[in-house]
Structure formats: structure tokens, C-alpha cells
């Protein structure tokens, strides 16, 4: 009760309804996998929060924006938003699609909806789950905010080619005709076909299906598997989604694999929904290999209420198991030459949620810089030196602080080493050795999710100070019980402070662990100068690779230190859509291994610190 009183008393200092957002998206990721039936855990019976494979829909009723709906893998429901920044979890109240990993004959039970397809049409929202060897149905709702879905089409049938599955489907509708695309394999391509209406008005897969897209990693560097595309493992193609713009059809696909920092989406272009398709010059169309958030693959492209394009994607954590993931969202669009693109520049820094039509995606970047990088910290306890407090400022989602206990006496303090104008704070909980299977939520069809949500949740308080003695609270989540692993706090009042303190109130797990406490705002010093002596050398024996090197900007001092660099590149001087974010303690050179053979590129680099971003370096062209 006393914490609720504090929350009400200090409400003007922070807001429960943000006007900005920060990736990974702040939603209540679930402990939604059943651990004893998975094959990919690094250790047996470890749970982890997460979700992936997002499809975000701008649902319209009578041609008017009704709201945004986010569907994803094993989410125990889905989310609704009115502004793309604040999300409410919706629990299904009626029928709900589920996915099977294997044939039911093998004894594998269903889990939840996995890698879904969704589509808004004629005031209704359609939903289809991935499935293998089990009847696949399309569900529909005329009021998705209620959580109520019904079966629209009972059984689409299954393909008789490839691996015989309908996995990672994508739906598209035009001129009273449904189309479906699917595939998730490192052996088979993506397929597509029509859904043919039967005499009883049911839909069935047209057996005259097409092989639409294959991977060519020997030509497309970004399609290579492994960290920074360094593995010889054959890559996976998956995650098909179709978008139409200006009479052209853009079929998106993901590669090389969801377990990699380079997970990305590419695009082919055609004049008809089923092709023939041609590889786009600008590829991949979404890419986020560096920084704090890693990966931007297997998502979808949608328009918001103002007509702006966005792209969602799957971001990788991969500590407890290879498929421990989060969801991200970045601005996207089509340029004057018809290139489909997205912008991952500062994609894991705060951005404005849309409130109007924008001309350039850079308009959405708040300009709030990272203030907490490598800053000193101390905690009330740590489990061992391996899990000490310095892990919360290293911008690495795979390292974390673990407290000795999980009680309300645990806290951690970050010294920003100067007073800053603090704008926002992002907390990132980690899951250290979570083995309690009771934390796995019940399936939607089983009921009990409401009761579960009251038992499995996180509560915290965040305060700031100028002297490490007198503290005032700037954020808490005590008003309701939610299992949010990446809570984002936007401050509404001007706040100058040097110290930031996190206080644990409650976690449902045996251990309290955080991978990162990220503080954003602005310093009063100088922006960095342009990085010096940039060079770009394309590998003469393998055009998929180029080495970028540079030197620290002139005039850099301890009071004007560098936080990091953005390597920006693209296929034309005005199309530098790709970004690789490099932290200042990393080497001042980087191998870019995502280039396409036969394509020329332009490169530039910029530096950033706590005060802002430098000018971009002169362009360098490589053939």
C-alpha cells in the first residue's frame, strides 16, 4: 500500500503512457515454452522470457484506424495499442489457433500460436498459426479488442511438396482472392499459391503452387549463417510477408537464422502476387547486427494511422537457449526509386511514436543519447564476481548482474560521473537459471491466465540523485502486475541528475538479474568531430566482404569521449540505409560481410557521445 501511495504522489515526474518507445519493445514477454519438451536448451529445464516472429496489424473499421494489434510466437494471447508505444496484453476468450511442432501421431502436444500470419480486411481481423501435419484453420474476429476469435475457414489443407508443412505463413488478399506464402527450412525454398474458394465457401490450398524464393549465400553475403556471417552452416529461409506499393509487390523473407545477430529480412519484387520475382538491389531491407539489440529478421511491414511505413523484427538474446528472443520495430518506407528499406540507425535508442506523416525516418529519433555506457556502478550484493554490477552498463544483452537475494533490499546504483538532463530509462531483466516450471503460463485454451498474471510479475522503483544522498523517484510499475522484462520509463519533467538507482520490489524468479540499465538524455558538452581517416577495402577475392577502418576523431578528450560509431552504407549516395553500430571500446575496424556480389556501395561513418552525433564522414565508393 505504501508503494502505491508513493506512485501517486510522484506521478508528475514520469508517465505511464509514453510518447516515445525504445527497442526491444516494452511488452509482457512470457515464460511461454514448456522446457522438458524442447531440444535446444544449453542446459536442461531452463526457462526464458521471450517472443518472436511478429506481425503487427493496423486494423481498420469502415476505413478508419481502429487500433494496432501485435501477434507473435508463444505470446499467450496478443497485444493492442493505440499509438505504437503503449501496449495492453489481450487474453483470448474464445477459440484460439495453436501450432503443432510435429505430427500428433508422434505424441507432440500443442503449445501456443507460433509464427502467425494476420490480415485486416473488411472490418475483420484474420489470423493463421504455423502448423505441421495437423488441420490448419483461419480464425477471424470482428472485435479483436475483446479477445474473441471464431473459425473462418476450417481446414486449408497441407502442401504436397517440400517438407509438407505450413510453417511461417504470410497472408495477402486482393480482388476477392486470398494468397498464402510459407516456408522455414535450410533445404527447401519459400512457396506460394492461391487459396481457392470451394463450393461450400471454404478455402483450400491451390495445388498449383510455386517455388518463389531460394537463398543464394554464395552471391548475397547477408544470407550467410553465423555471427557476422562467419559460419559455413547452410542458412535458413523463412518468414514470408507480402506488401504492395505503387503497383509493385514486395515479398519479404528472412535469413540466415533466428539464432544469429545478423538475422535480417530481404525482399524480392514482382508485378503480380505470385511473381515472377526479382531480387531487389537494396538488400537486406531490414538489418541490425550491432549495438544492444541484435537482429531484425522475420517481421512484417505495415502502415500506421498517418500513412508511415514500419517494419517489425525478431531480436536475439540467446542466453538460456538459442531461441530466447525479443521483438523490435523500426521505421521503413519506399524511396523515390521504389526501393523498400528500413532504418536501423540508433534503432535501440528512444524514438518518437508517430503523431503525423514524416518525410524522413531520422525525424523519429529523439536525439536522446546513451549516458550509462561503461559508467561505474555498485550494488547491495552480487551472486559472484562473474555477475557483478558492472554488467548493467556494458551494452551486452548476454551479460548480467545477479543479486545474492531476490528480496526488496536489493538495489543497484549507477554513477553517470556528471549531471545530465535525463530523458528516459530502460531496464532489461535477465533470466538466470530459471528452472521453476510453475513459471510457464497456462495455454490460452486451458484458462487461468488471469490468475497467473497476478502471481508472475516484476515490481521495481527507479530514483535519481545529484549527490547520492537525496533521492527522488522517477519511475515505478507498482500500479499493476505485469511480467515486463524490458520496461521503458519516459520522464515527463526536466530531470538533472548524476546518479540513477534501481530498487527491486518483487520478482517471481529465484534470482534477481538485470542485463542492462540504459539511461538516455543529453549532456551539455560538445558533440564529437568526424572520425578520421576512414578507409573501405573490398575483398578482391570475395566481393561479399569489405573491411572498414577509421581513427578516433580529433579533439577527443576525457570530457568529450566517444560512446560509439555508426558505420552507414548503401547502394547510392542518398541510400545509406544500413547501419552497423560499434561501441567505443571495440577495435576501430570492422569486417562488413553482408554485401551482394556485383553491387557497388557507398560508405560513411559518424561518431556519437553523450552530447550528440558528429557530422558524417565523406562518402567512399567501392565497386
Q: Which set of grid coordinates corresponds to residue 601? A: 556501395
Among residues of the chain, what percentage have pLDDT more than 90?
85
Torsion of CA 592, 597, 603, 608, to 10 degrees: -30
Could you report the per-residue pLDDT of 25-66, keeping only the tens digit for each? 999 999 987 665 556 666 667 888 999 999 999 999 999 999
Bridge-based pairing state of the strands 564-570 and 601-609: antiparallel
Instruction: Report the C-alpha gap between 502 and 419 in whole angstroms.
Output: 18
- In angstroms, how far is the first alpha carbon of the chain from the final one? 66
pLDDT at residue 135, as a whole number: 83
Cβ(570)–Cβ(577) below 8 Å: yes
Instruction: Report the C-alpha gap between 112 and 51 in whole angstroms.
Output: 11
Q: At residue 118, does pLDDT exceed 60?
A: yes
Q: What is the DSSP string of 529-548?
A: PPPEEEEEEE-TT-TT-EEE
Sign of the CA dihedral 274, 330, 296, 589?
positive
Strand partners, 180: 171, 193
Neighbours of 401 (CB within 10 A): 27
Q: Which residues belong to CATH 2.60.120.260 in the chain?
A: 369-522
Q: Which set of grid coordinates corresponds to residue 407? A: 528480496
Q: Which residues belong to CATH 2.60.40.10 in the chain?
A: 532-622
Could you report the per-residue pLDDT of 379-393, keeping only the tens digit for each? 999 999 999 999 999
* CATH ID of 532-622, from 2.60.40.10, 3.30.470.10, 3.90.1150.10, 3.40.462.40: 2.60.40.10
For range 586-599, the mean pLDDT: 98
Q: Residue holding cell 503525423?
A: 356
Cβ(85)–Cβ(21) below 8 Å: yes
Q: Which set of grid coordinates corresponds to residue 460? A: 521495481
Q: Which set of grid coordinates corresponds to residue 573? A: 549516395
Per mean pLDDT, which range of 164-168, 271-275, 425-429, 535-539 is the poorest?
Answer: 164-168
User: For the chain, what's the residue count?
Assistant: 623
Strand partners, 248: 245
Instruction: Report the C-alpha gap between 379 and 358 in whole angstroms.
Output: 43
566-584 in b/e form (b: 16+ CB < 10 A) is: bbbbbbbeebbbbbbbbbb
Cβ(61)–Cβ(44) below 8 Å: no
Alpha helices in 482-534 (DSSP H): none
Confidence of residue 272 (pLDDT cuts 50, 70, 90): very high
Omega of the bond prior to 184 within 30 degrees of 0, cis? no
3-class SS at 562? coil
pLDDT at residue 456, as a whole number: 96
Q: Which set of grid coordinates corresponds to residue 129? A: 498459426
Among residues of the chain, what percentage have pLDDT more than 70?
94
The answer for residues whose C-beta is within 8 angstroms of residue 469's C-beta and 6 or more apart is: none
Instruction: Report the C-alpha gap between 117 and 89 in whole angstroms.
Output: 18
Instruction: Report the C-alpha gap between 283 and 268 in whole angstroms.
Output: 9
Sign of the CA dihedral 160, 162, 163, 165?
negative
For the domain made up of 369-522, give the CATH fold: Jelly Rolls (2.60.120)
pLDDT at residue 107, as a whole number: 47
Q: At residue 10, does pLDDT exceed 50?
A: no
Alpha-carbon distances, residue 243 vs 169, 312, 387 (angstroms): 14, 13, 45
Neighbours of 472 (CB within 10 A): 12
Alpha-carbon distances, residue 392 vs 428, 518, 523 (angstroms): 9, 8, 21
Instruction: Report the C-alpha gap between 363 and 504 in whole angstroms.
Output: 36
Q: Which set of grid coordinates corresponds to residue 205? A: 490450398
Alpha-carbon distances, residue 287 vs 22, 311, 393, 539 (angstroms): 17, 11, 24, 21
Could you report the per-residue pLDDT of 201-238, keeping only the tens digit for each? 999 999 899 999 999 999 999 999 999 999 999 999 99
Neighbours of 43 (CB within 10 A): 10
Among 406, 395, 390, smallest CA distance to 370 is for: 395
Alpha-carbon distances, residue 56 vs 286, 309, 362, 573, 597 (angstroms): 15, 11, 21, 31, 33
Among 444, 441, 472, 478, smallest CA distance to 456 is for: 441
Instruction: Report the C-alpha gap between 348 and 579 in whole angstroms.
Output: 12
The answer for residues whose C-beta is within 8 angstroms of residue 178's C-beta and 6 or more apart is: 171, 172, 194, 195, 203
Could you report the per-residue pLDDT of 422-465, keeping only the tens digit for each? 999 999 999 999 988 889 999 888 889 999 999 999 999 999 99
Q: How far is CA 264 from the centre of its chain?
A: 11
Q: How wide is the angle at C-alpha 19 spanned by C-alphas 13 and 20, nearest 5°?
A: 100
The CATH number assigned to the domain with range 51-349 reads 2.115.10.20
Supply the pTM of this predicted model. 0.95
Alpha-carbon distances, residue 158 vs 80, 135, 162, 537, 558 (angstroms): 31, 8, 11, 48, 63
Q: Which residues belong to CATH 2.115.10.20 in the chain?
A: 51-349
Q: Which phi and psi (to 5°) does residue 229 adopt? A: 60, 45
Q: At residue 79, does pLDDT exceed 80?
A: yes
Amino acid at each position: 500500500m505504501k508503494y502505491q501511495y508513493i506512485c501517486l504522489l510522484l506521478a508528475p515526474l514520469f508517465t505511464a503512457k509514453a510518447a516515445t518507445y525504445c527497442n526491444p519493445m516494452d511488452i509482457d514477454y512470457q515464460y511461454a515454452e514448456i522446457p522438458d519438451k524442447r531440444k535446444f536448451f544449453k542446459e536442461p529445464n531452463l526457462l526464458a522470457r521471450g517472443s518472436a516472429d511478429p506481425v503487427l496489424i493496423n486494423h481498420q473499421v469502415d476505413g478508419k484506424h481502429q487500433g494496432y494489434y501485435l501477434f507473435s510466437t508463444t505470446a499467450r494471447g496478443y497485444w493492442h495499442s493505440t499509438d505504437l508505444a503503449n501496449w495492453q496484453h489481450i487474453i483470448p476468450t474464445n477459440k484460439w489457433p495453436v501450432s503443432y511442432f510435429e505430427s500428433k501421431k508422434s505424441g507432440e502436444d500443442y503449445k501456443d500460436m507460433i509464427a502467425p500470419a494476420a490480415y485486416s480486411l473488411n472490418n475483420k481481423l484474420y489470423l493463421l498459426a504455423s502448423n505441421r501435419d495437423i488441420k490448419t484453420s483461419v480464425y477471424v474476429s470482428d472485435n479483436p479488442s475483446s479477445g474473441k476469435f471464431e473459425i473462418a475457414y476450417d481446414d486449408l489443407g497441407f502442401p504436397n511438396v517440400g517438407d509438407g508443412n505450413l510453417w511461417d505463413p504470410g497472408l495477402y488478399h486482393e480482388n476477392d482472392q486470398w494468397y498464402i506464402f510459407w516456408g522455414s527450412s535450410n533445404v527447401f525454398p519459400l512457396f506460394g499459391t492461391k487459396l481457392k474458394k470451394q463450393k461450400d465457401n471454404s478455402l483450400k490450398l491451390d495445388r498449383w503452387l510455386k517455388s518463389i524464393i531460394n537463398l543464394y549465400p554464395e552471391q548475397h553475403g547477408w544470407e550467410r549463417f553465423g555471427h557476422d556471417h562467419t559460419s559455413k552452416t547452410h542458412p535458413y529461409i523463412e518468414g514470408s510477408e507480402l506488401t504492395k506499393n505503387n503497383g509493385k509487390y514486395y515479398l519479404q523473407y528472412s535469413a540466415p537464422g533466428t539464432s544469429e545477430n545478423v538475422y535480417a529480412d530481404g525482399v524480392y519484387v514482382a508485378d503480380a502476387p505470385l511473381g515472377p520475382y526479382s531480387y531487389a538491389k537494396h538488400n537486406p531491407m531490414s538489418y541490425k547486427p550491432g549495438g544492444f539489440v541484435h537482429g531484425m529478421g522475420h517481421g512484417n511491414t505495415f502502415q500506421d494511422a498517418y500513412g508511415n511505413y514500419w517494419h517489425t523484427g525478431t531480436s536475439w538474446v540467446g542466453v538460456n537457449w538459442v531461441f530466447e528472443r525479443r521483438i523490435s520495430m523500426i521505421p521503413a518506407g519506399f524511396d523515390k526509386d521504389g526501393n523498400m528499406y528500413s532504418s536501423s540507425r540508433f534503432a535501440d535508442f528512444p524514438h518518437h511514436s508517430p503523431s503525423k506523416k514524416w518525410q524522413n525516418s531520422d525525424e523519429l529519433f529523439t536525439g536522446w543519447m546513451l549516458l550509462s555506457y561503461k559508467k561505474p556502478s555498485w550494488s547491495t550484493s552480487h551472486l559472484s564476481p562473474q555477475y557483478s554490477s558492472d554488467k548493467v552498463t556494458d551494452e551486452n544483452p548476454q551479460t548480467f548482474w545477479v543479486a545474492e537475494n531476490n528480496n526488496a533490499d536489493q538495489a543497484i546504483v549507477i554513477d553517470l560521473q556528471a549531471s545530465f538532463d535525463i530523458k528516459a530509462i530502460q531496464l532489461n531483466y535477465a533470466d538466470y537459471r530459471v528452472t521453476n516450471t510453475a513459471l510457464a503460463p497456462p495455454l490460452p485454451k486451458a484458462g487461468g491466465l488471469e490468475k497467473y498474471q497476478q502471481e508472475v510479475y516484476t515490481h521495481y522503483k527507479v530514483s535519481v540523485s545529484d549527490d547520492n544522498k537525496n533521492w527522488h523517484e522517477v519511475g515505478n510499475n507498482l500500479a499493476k502486475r505485469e511480467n515486463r522484462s524490458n520496461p521503458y520509463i519516459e520522464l515527463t519533467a526536466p530531470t538533472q541528475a548524476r546518479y540513477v538507482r534501481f530498487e527491486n520490489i518483487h520478482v517471481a524468479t529465484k534470482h534477481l538479474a538485470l542485463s542492462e540499465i540504459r539511461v538516455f538524455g543529453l549532456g551539455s558538452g560538445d558533440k564529437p568531430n568526424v572520425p578520421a581517416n576512414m578507409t573501405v577495402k573490398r575483398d578482391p577475392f570475395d566481393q561479399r566482404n569489405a573491411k572498414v577502418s577509421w581513427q578516433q576523431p580529433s579533439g577527443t578528450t576525457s570530457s568529450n569521449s566517444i560512446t560509439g560509431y555508426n558505420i552507414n552504407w548503401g547502394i547510392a549516395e542518398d541510400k545509406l540505409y544500413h547501419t552497423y553500430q560499434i561501441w567505443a571500446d571495440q577495435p576501430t575496424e570492422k569486417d562488413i560481410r553482408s554485401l551482394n556480389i556485383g553491387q557497388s556501395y557507398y560508405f560513411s561513418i559518424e561518431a556519437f557521445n553523450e552530447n550528440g552525433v558528429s557530422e558524417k564522414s565523406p562518402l567512399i565508393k567501392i565497386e
